[in-house]
Structure 1
Amino acid sequence: MAQTIVSRLTEGLASGQSKRFDNASTPTPEETMIKAGRSAAVLAALAAAALSLTACGGDDGGSGGKELKLWHYEAPDSAMGKAWSEAVKEFEAAHPGVKVTFEEKGFEQIQKTAPMVLNSKDAPDVMEYNKGNATAGMLSKQGLLTDLTAEVGKRGWDKLISPNVQVTAKYDAKGTMGGDTWYGVPNYAEYLQIYYNKDLFEKHGVEIPTTFDQLVAAMDAFVAKDVTPFTNAGAEYMAHQFVYQLALDRADQNWVDAFQRYTGKTDFNDAAWTYGASTFADWVKKGYIAENSVSLKAEDAGVAFMKGEFPMMFSGSWWFGRVAAEADFEWETSVWPGAKMTLGSGGNLWVVPEGSENKELAYDFIDITMKKGIQNTLGNAGGIPVAADPAAITEPKAKKLIGDFDGLAESGGLAYYPDWPVAGFYDVWVSQTQKLMNGTAPAEVLEGVQKSYDGGLPK
């Protein structure tokens, strides 16, 4: 725009100068030099004015008329959905003239298309993305995510996020978590737990378990009454998370580190993995988990539980807010009975695509989600905040949820998720666990998992 203005002014000056010379006598050399100097000075002043106008009204200065493109996949009535809706309002109030354009994307949608989308002009400015080597780690290695290390230090986010939660936000040059470069910011945490329908337990005269043996006894009691104990989703993450939890019951921290962070060799024929796969297959045969759930998605399983169709659901804390809002029965939660370790970590990450056109605004939005007001909202809505005021969390079930997480985090009980270590591993786990549910031998299933894992290890 500035160049256009200057060009037009230059044309005008040249035209006027030509006309003045045409109507006058031939100037002396001294007069020509004086007039040329004056014209140059006028041009310089006009050009500066034009640039100033452009800076005031164009796209490069201020925040007026800008748009922040935001993607996330949290349901509106989930804890994170509620907190982030509040964050959007606070952000827009603090940035007059900036409009947040929010696009809700499904977890699976972002999981499968992020590398392609972030390498295009359609990339958002800030988005929620899954943490782990196979997701955020892979994108960081491909150069698709912005290095946030300087911004994290500048805004003090590293002081708000505990070291065990930071692990999944930082990656090394190979895309392995636990590195020294920040590529994302988690503003909540998460873990798996059992949700209990207390009404169904009471109706069928079954005690809510506190040990693993009691859990098995409870499942036997429900099956004897023709009630399937657990809801499940074989077509998505729920099924293979059972396998991983059962394996964790026979594992230790060194086992987890070898699997997740390549500190040693992982053998899927070892005692822990064999127990996990064999026990899950046995649970399907015994009716603890329905065979026909092999084709169901997580939403199907979660909704069925919230409708009161199953006594138990083993899944993430991300369901907590929805269960609180939608379940028409008495319910409670607990960590997997008897578990020293379970699936969990810092929450999904806010990442800023390398192609973001509004990085400073993206940083400002992330910063707002880390403020105590938003963090307190998240906690009372059933999320696990990383920087809330503990005294501000007053909802009893939410306080227990956060307390259970804190206990796991302090004891080193967060074992991450089974699909994290290598790219494409999520789909492998889904397909192999479906085979397990359909009767394929556990050893054969684990062999398929081993092949994929070994083939995906960083070179």
Structure 2
Amino acid sequence: MQRLRRVAVAAMVAVLAATGVTACGGDDGEDGSGAKVLKLWHYEGANSAMGVAWDKAIEIFKQEHTGVEVRFERKAFEQIQQNAAMIINSSEGPDVMEYNKGNATAGLLSSQGLLTDLTAQATKRGWDKTLSPSLQTTARYDDKGVMGSGNWFGVPNYGEYVTVYYNKDLFTKYGVQVPTTLDEMTTAMDTFVGKGVTPLGTAGAEYPAGQLFYQLALARADRTFVDNYQLYKHPVDFHADPLSFGAETFADWVRKGYVSKDAASAKAEDMGTAFIAGKTPMIVSGSWWYGRFKDEIKFDWDTFLFPGNTLNAGSSGNIWVVPASSKAKDLAYDFIDITMRPEIQALIANNGGVPVAGDPAQVSDPKDRKLIEDFNKISAQDGLAFYPDWPVPGYYDVLVAGLQSLINQSKSPDQVLDAIAKPYQDGVAEIKRN
């Protein structure tokens, strides 16, 4: 992999030279006229929790760095995702930018030498103390670009996690209590089914079904499993717990009518809009829905953590990275540090986001406060287990196909586990070979 990546970098440099775009370095942060400049890119919406908070961080940065011009550009997610390597190695690139966490993105660029090692800054500025071990996983990458160990190449300042959204009005109507264990969850769903109501919305055509399967597996998992599955510490047996429990329980929930067979063709948006319309008692999905639900839902609703789990799907949000070609690295470090301050973390929290260092006492809205408290609880117990499709390239599509087969009952749990095991094992073997 290292040899191939060096060849890829050489080819990219050749493309840059051919197009007249040249790489540059240095830390003076000056443009051609000698003025000090910080070029900053991210792809969050202006009215999103992160967009609001980072606008304030830019304002503070300007106040504290008189004479420095901040050139902020909001980029499309796909623009950065598809062209990051070429862009950040050119004179047109930013000094600091938001980028996707994970092996195939930040990990790949770090292994190619395109990102600045932030380890010394993490220690100096206390980021290593602020972020829990599971949050640090997506900040650190080894020399092969595999997350979880090695040096710091990014810094997250917000988080995300999978939780259960529920319609309080429907729970009241049918006399259902909020469950605190998996057994109580099945009892609650039995009550809804008995009243002719499908209790749990999901989406087989996209990520939600995979996350539900993973949450069920995590009910029988520990950190050793997560490290083996996500970080390749030891081989994973797909026909043993916790993965077998996840597949068998998921299939059982479909047979019992907890999940509609029609969900096999549903997309995440279908699941979300059905919940917004008040048609679904519960969905299991990410904190990224929270802000939209808060804006659009007219009935009484709330959230609870997947009952009984100490591990939950989730991770840091995307990360701030400093390209190796940055001309203003010290300024970039200062900006990242500002986004970790209490006032910026509070802005994220009070606008429906999940700060990595948020103080619930500083959050005015009770629902917002609960969102932060639940995340802090998971993070404090090292309970972020990342996402089921992360381990190897292309695994998202493998899981979607497998879970659709469970929902429409075209394959048994054992057959689905066979189908998702081989691509995982082949992918891990390829990574380890290189």
Match for residue 169 of structure 2? 199
CA displacement, residues 78-136 of structure 1 (integer Å, 9 cap, x when unaligned): 43343234334444666664331112426xx8667756766788765544334333443
Q: Which residues in structure 2 correspond to 1:43-54 (within 5 Å)?
A: none
**Distance in 2 between the 1:141 and 1:103 partners?**
24
1:455 maps onto 2:423 in alignment: no
CA contact (8 A) 1:236 1:430 kept: yes
How far apart are the structure 1 equivalents of 2:289 and 2:56? 19
One-letter amino acid matched to 1:84: W
Q: Pick the aligned partner of 2:32 from 59, 74, 78.
A: 59
Distance in 2 separating the partners of 1:134 and 1:417: 14
Give the structure 2 partner of residue 332 of structure 1: 302
Distance 1:353 1:280, change over 3 A: farther
Letter paired with 2:77: K
Report the equivalent of 1:341.
311
Aligned CA distance change for structure 1 residues 80 and 224 (closer, same or farther; 3 Å): farther
Unpaired runs of 5+ residues, structure 1, are 1-54
Alpha-carbon distance in structure 1 between the residues aligned to 2:88 and 2:262: 37
Q: Distance in 2 between matches of 1:111 and 1:291?
A: 34
- The separation in 2 between residues aligned to 1:57 and 1:254, in whole angstroms, is 48
Q: How far is 1:379 from its partner?
A: 1.8
Say if 1:113 and 1:445 are closer, same or farther in 2 by CA, change over 3 A.
farther
- Within 5 A, what are the aligned runs for 1:36-435? 59=32, 61-63=34-36, 68-72=39-43, 74=44, 76-91=46-61, 97-105=69-77, 125-354=95-324, 359-389=329-359, 391-435=361-405
Task: Check whether the contact 1:372–1:387 (CA below 8 A) recurs between aligned residues.
Answer: yes
Structure 1 counterpart of 2:390, which letter?
W
Q: Which residue identity is paired with 1:450?
A: A
Task: Label 1:67 to 1:218 Cα distance change in 2 as closer, same or farther (>3 A).
Answer: same
How many angstroms does 1:444 deviate by? 2.5
CA distance in 2 between counterparts of 1:183 and 1:280 reads 37
- Cα pair 1:79 1:320 within 8 Å, conserved: no
What SS does the corresponding residue of 1:332 show, helix, strand or coil? Answer: strand
CA contact (8 A) 1:77 1:322 kept: no
Shift of residue 378, structure 1, vs aligned partner: 1.1
Identity of aligned residues (%): 52
| Secondary structure at 2:121 match in 1 | helix
SS of the residue corresponding to residue 160 of structure 2 reads strand
C-alpha displacement of 1:388? 3.8
Deviations 1:224-264 (A, max 9, x none): 33333222222322110111111111222222221122222
Once the two structures are TM-superposed, the CA of residue 195 in structure 1 deviates from its matched residue by 1.0
Contact 2:166–2:302 (Cα < 8 Å) also in 1: yes
Q: 2:11 maps to which residue?
A: none
Going from structure 1 to structure 2, the CA distance change for 1:56 and 1:344 (only over 3 Å counts) comes to closer
TM-aligned CA distance change 1:261 to 1:382, over 3 Å: same
Structure 1 residue 336, shift from structure 2 partner: 0.5
Q: What is the identity, as a one-letter code, of the residue corresponding to 1:369?
A: T
Q: CA deviation at 1:383?
A: 2.7
| Residue type at the aligned position of 2:141 | Y
Distance 1:354 1:300 in 2: 41
| Amino acid across the alignment from 2:146 | T
> Which of 210-219 and 287-296 deviates more?
287-296
Equivalent-residue separation in structure 2 for 1:300 and 1:282 (angstroms): 23
Deviations 1:392-423 (A, max 9, x none): 23332233222222322333332222122223
Q: Which amino acid aligns with 2:32?
A: D
Cα pair distance change 1:138/1:57, threshold 3 Å: closer
User: What's the CA shift for 1:350?
Assistant: 1.8
SS of corresponding position for 1:288: coil
Q: Distance between the aligned counterparts of 2:30 and 2:312, measured in 1?
A: 54
Structure 2 unmatched ranges of 5 or more: 1-27
Q: Distance in 2 between matches of 1:158 and 1:386?
A: 12
Q: Give, in whole Å, the separation in 2 of the partners of 1:111 and 1:278.
A: 36
Secondary structure of 1:417 counterpart: coil
Q: Using a 3 Å threshold, how does the CA distance of structure 1 residues 104 and 285 change in structure 2: closer, same or farther?
A: farther
| Gap change, CA 1:303 and 1:135, over 3 Å in 2 | farther
Q: More helix by proportion, 1 or 2?
A: 1
Code of the residue aligned with 2:382 in structure 1: it is: G
**Larger relative contact order (Cα-Cα within 8 Å, sequence gap ≥ 6):** 2
> Which residue does the alignment assign to 2:19?
none
Structure with max Cα Rg: 1
The aligned amino acid for 1:377 is: L
Alignment size in residue pairs: 400
Q: Is the 8 A contact 2:30 2:328 kept in 1?
A: no
**How does the TM-score come out when normalised to structure 1?**
0.77
When normalised by structure 2's length, the TM-score is 0.81
**Does the residue aligned with 1:450 lie in a helix, a strand or coil?**
helix
Whether the 8 Å contact between 1:134 and 1:424 is mirrored in structure 2 is no
Q: Distance in 2 between matches of 1:92 and 1:260?
A: 40
1:442 aligns with one of 367, 392, 413: 413
